[in-house]
Structure 1
Amino acid sequence: MQSSAPPPEQGSGTVRMTAWVRGHVQGVGFRWFTRAQALAIGDLRGFASNLGDGRVQVVAEGSREKCARLLDWLREGDTPGRVDGVTEIWDTPRGGYPDFAIR
């Protein structure tokens, strides 16, 4: 279920995309593969983190196009485990991420 459309580009065109991935996504290397995909896309900063309820939270900051590519991969890519659904929100970037990390 999509929660909102990407905001219109502002200034630098940088956005923040936060996604919550549901399914069998913990204990299968999902965060590692998400980081690898973000690095392959390039110029994305943020993190992938396990949540206590079994979901994985992914925060990515970068161009709208690159964040959307990562979101598409989360939804339809060759991910480990099983993705049952992804919910995302788009916002203005907050910064503070030196790279894309696993938390």
Structure 2
Amino acid sequence: MSEQAINYENLVASYEDRLLNQLRSHGVDLDFLEMWVPDEDPVASILNMVEAAAAFGTEMFTLRVANSSLPSAKRGELRAALGPISDIEIDDHGDFSLVHISNIKA
């Protein structure tokens, strides 16, 4: 996969800032993220993101997630949650992981 990774932590911070300072449209670059609402649980939050992508017809994207946000203990739970609606591959890069999500089913 060669697309640019979406930085999860920056996206959550941007969402929270715009939620406080903007009434509508939190102004993200990717259309499907307009429907996304982050959750305190990273598994639920990423699942929400994949479901929003499915609703927009987005078939794949890569998410850059700090390992502090998605610890290795949560990765099996994430795979199980996304398994029915997409393929998932997680590449560890030390302090962060790249979560490749593909074949998203509408």
Superposed pair shares fold, TM > 0.5: no
Question: Which protein has greater RCO, CA pairs closer than 8 Å, 6+ apart?
Answer: 1
Q: Which has the higher strand share?
A: 1
Q: Which has the higher helix share?
A: 2
TM normalised by structure 2 equals 0.40
Higher Rg of the two aligned structures: 2
TM normalised by structure 1 equals 0.41
